[in-house]
């Protein structure tokens, strides 16, 4: 592993741990290399993948209402974790500016390039916005901000919390909470439980795009860990369980096979039909959201729902 960089080493270590575990797993956080991010854009454009349109509808139609529930009496910060291309957030920012709200928009991303693209996208339509992107770790930036007097509205949109296991989601929100002062608020985008067939179709899509999204991780392993995985010897499987609200996704091995990684200098064995768990996408009920908020000493101010009640932007204080 001597030729890898620091980040690559984390990737290599995690893959090694995941593929040597009794129940093999890979982390969905590694889906998002350039190609994976491109495939995720395609997922968001599929008619079956409803969350994007739902959140777009909420932020286009209800941002003024969100603003009215903030009760900030002075200039405030809008701090966004993982803003992507800003397609949906733009709707909220536009509505806030139309209401002459006085705020600084602070998107945080680990990638300078992502911040540059976002800034160009936002400034194209909202040239007068006060925007101060920060590049770095969420929590370093949170620490910096906790020293400022201005109230903060934190945004964690897109249903990203659903990709964390229950204990990790709790720990993440706890860390957010630590960086918040009294009066600060947070909007959390959360996907809701609904007719199981609708959820199943959003992930087990007929175009094979979600399959490609998962398979891309194998390609990434081939490239970065110098592995010789035959992609056609793996399949994709996912399943929504309405009882616990979990979509679990897997790569499955189509035969007994041995795969060598030059970087890890390890040969991995995959049994026929062995499953490698790749992703959790958790769906919530409104009661679960209240319980989660209360377990962290937050209060749900209001759930802003789309017209079909598929998704919520949940305002917490
Ligand atoms: C980013 N995240 C909220 C998506 C989700 O719905 O869990 C990722 C995704 N995985 C498959 N489709 C979309």
Q: At what angle do helices 209-224 and 6-20 cross, to 10 degrees?
A: 110
Long-range contacts of 17-20 (CB under 8 A, 24+ apart): 18/276, 19/268, 19/276, 20/266, 20/268
Closest atom of ligand 1 to CA, residue 40 = 13
210 C-beta closer than 6 A to ligand 1 = yes
Over range 227-236, report the average pLDDT: 98
163 C-beta closer than 6 A to ligand 1 = yes
Give the distance (Å) from ligand 1 centre to CA of residue 34: 16
What was the pLDDT predicted at 142? Answer: 84
pLDDT digits (tens, 9 = 90+) for 267-309: 999 999 999 999 999 999 999 999 999 999 999 999 999 999 9
What is the DSSP code string of 97-156? Answer: HHTT--EEEEEEES-HHHHHHHHHHHHHH-TT-EE--EES-HHHHHHHHHTS-S-EEEEE
Tokens read off for 32: 């998002």
84 C-beta closer than 6 A to ligand 1 = no
Over range 242-261, report the average pLDDT: 98
Which residue has a Cα nearest atom 3 of ligand 1? 160
Distance CA 93, CA 78 (A): 9
Beta bridge partners of 78: 105, 153
275-296 b/e (C-beta count within 10 Å ≥ 16 → b): bbbbbbbbbbebeebbebbeee
CB count in 10 Å sphere of residue 35: 16
Assign 263 to helix, strand or coil. Answer: coil
Probe ligand 1: pick from 81, 212, 279, 310, max atoms within 8 Å of CB? 279
Give the distance (Å) from ligand 1 centre to CA of residue 39: 11
Distance CA 1, CA 49 (A): 38
Spell out the residues 6+ positions from residue 132 whose beta carbon is closer than 8 angstroms to its own.
104, 105, 106
Residue 123 has pLDDT above 70, yes or no: yes
203 C-beta closer than 6 A to ligand 1 = yes
Query: Mean pLDDT, the chain, as a whole number?
Result: 94
Closest atom of ligand 1 to CA, residue 281 = 7
Give the distance (Å) from ligand 1 centre to CA of residue 255: 28
Distance CA 80, CA 102 (A): 16
- Lowest-confidence range among 21-25, 94-98, 113-117, 276-280? 113-117
151 C-beta closer than 6 A to ligand 1 = no
Least Cα distance to 113 among 33, 208, 26 occurs for: 33
Spell out the residues 6+ positions from residue 280 whose beta carbon is closer than 8 angstroms to its own.
28, 162, 163, 164, 165, 246, 247, 248, 249
Give the distance (Å) from ligand 1 centre to CA of residue 147: 34
Assign 73 to helix, strand or coil. Answer: coil
Probe ligand 1: pick from 39, 40, 277, max atoms within 8 Å of CB? 40
Closest atom of ligand 1 to CA, residue 163 = 7
Phi, psi of 237 (to 5 degrees): -140, 140
pLDDT digits (tens, 9 = 90+) for 139-184: 888 888 877 889 999 999 999 999 999 999 999 999 999 989 999 9
For the chain, percent of residues with pLDDT exceeding 70: 98
175-203 b/e (C-beta count within 10 Å ≥ 16 → b): ebeebbeeebbbbbbbbbbbeeeebbbbb
pLDDT digits (tens, 9 = 90+) for 36-80: 999 999 999 999 999 999 999 999 999 999 999 999 999 999 999
């Amino acid at each position: 592993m001597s030729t890898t960089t620091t980040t690559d080493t984390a990737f290599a270590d995690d893959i090694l741990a995941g593929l040597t575990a009794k129940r093999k797993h890979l982390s969905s956080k590694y889906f998002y290399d350039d190609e994976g991010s491109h495939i995720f854009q395609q997922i968001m454009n599929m008619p079956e993948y409803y969350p994007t349109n739902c959140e777009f509808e909420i932020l286009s139609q209800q941002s003024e209402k969100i603003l009215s529930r903030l009760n900030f009496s002075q200039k405030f910060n809008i701090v966004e974790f993982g803003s992507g291309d800003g397609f949906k957030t733009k709707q909220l920012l536009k509505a806030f500016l139309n209401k002459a709200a006085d705020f600084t928009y602070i998107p945080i991303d680990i990638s300078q390039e992502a911040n540059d693209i976002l800034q160009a996208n936002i400034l194209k339509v909202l040239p007068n916005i006060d925007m101060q992107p920060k590049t770095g770790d969420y929590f370093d930036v949170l620490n910096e901000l906790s020293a400022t007097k201005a109230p903060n509205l934190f945004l964690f949109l897109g249903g990203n919390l659903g990709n964390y296991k229950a204990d990790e989601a709790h720990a993440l929100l706890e860390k957010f909470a630590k960086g918040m002062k009294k009066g600060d608020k947070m909007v959390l985008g959360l996907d809701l439980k609904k007719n199981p067939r609708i959820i199943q179709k959003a992930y087990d899509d007929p175009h094979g795009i979600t399959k490609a999204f998962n398979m891309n991780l194998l390609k990434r392993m081939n490239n970065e860990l110098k592995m010789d995985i035959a992609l056609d010897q793996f399949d994709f499987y996912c399943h929504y369980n309405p009882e616990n609200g979990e979509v679990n996704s897997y790569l499955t091995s189509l035969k007994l096979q041995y795969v060598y990684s030059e970087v890890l200098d390890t040969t991995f064995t995959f049994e026929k039909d062995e499953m490698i768990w790749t992703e959790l996408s958790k769906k919530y009920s409104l009661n679960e959201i209240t319980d989660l908020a209360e377990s962290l000493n937050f209060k749900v101010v209001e759930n802003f729902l789309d017209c079909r009640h598929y998704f919520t932007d949940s305002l917490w204080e």
